[in-house]
Amino acid sequence: MKLIVFSDSHGKTDTMRRIMRMHSDAYAFLHLGDGAPSFLSLCRELSLAGFAVKGNCDFFTGDFPLEKSMTLTFDGVKLFLTHGDDYGVNFSTTRLAFAAKEAGCRIALYGHTHVGEETYLPPLDDNNTPLWIMNPGSTDKPRDNRASYGVIEIKNGQILMNIAKV
């Protein structure tokens, strides 16, 4: 099962539209805020499954009431989605990791920094599960010189994550 992850598109849909067409086999598309309403409008237009959380710049959400965070489960793997500003991700992903673990998630997704990043936290003991953390970067205003998005593949409980450059 393939999931495509966007963040910080800030109302620009051309790049997302191109990526969505390129990944038409994706099970769902996710947006981590700051451009979530235009993303959801695009999903509606293209008849694609889309889920989004509210970013700190998503002032007017129109037809789409958005939460600051949510959990979703795909193929038995639980994901924690948030924009990240409420978790201090500009400085550290520690609070985000604790929130995701507390929610029973194996993947934590965030945006806000406009910088693509992947982190794997191995299990701490036999009773703990690993946690994958991803920021897909920004499709519109990257701060690491190149627009990007995330690709997550889940198969039989195994997780493969990648940040793809546009």
* Homologous superfamily of domain range 2-165: Metallo-dependent phosphatases (3.60.21.10)
Residues 110, 112, 116, 120, Cα dihedral to 10°: -30
Using one digit for the tens of pLDDT, what is the confidence trace for 42-84? 999 999 999 999 999 998 878 888 999 999 999 999 999 999 9
- Cβ atoms 8, 138 nearer than 8 A: yes
Among candidate residues 112, 108, 164, 110, the one with its CA nearest the CA of residue 141: 112
Among candidate residues 99, 94, 65, the one with its CA nearest the CA of residue 82: 99
pTM equals 0.96
List the chain residues with pLDDT less than 50.
none
Radius of gyration, alpha carbons of the chain: 15
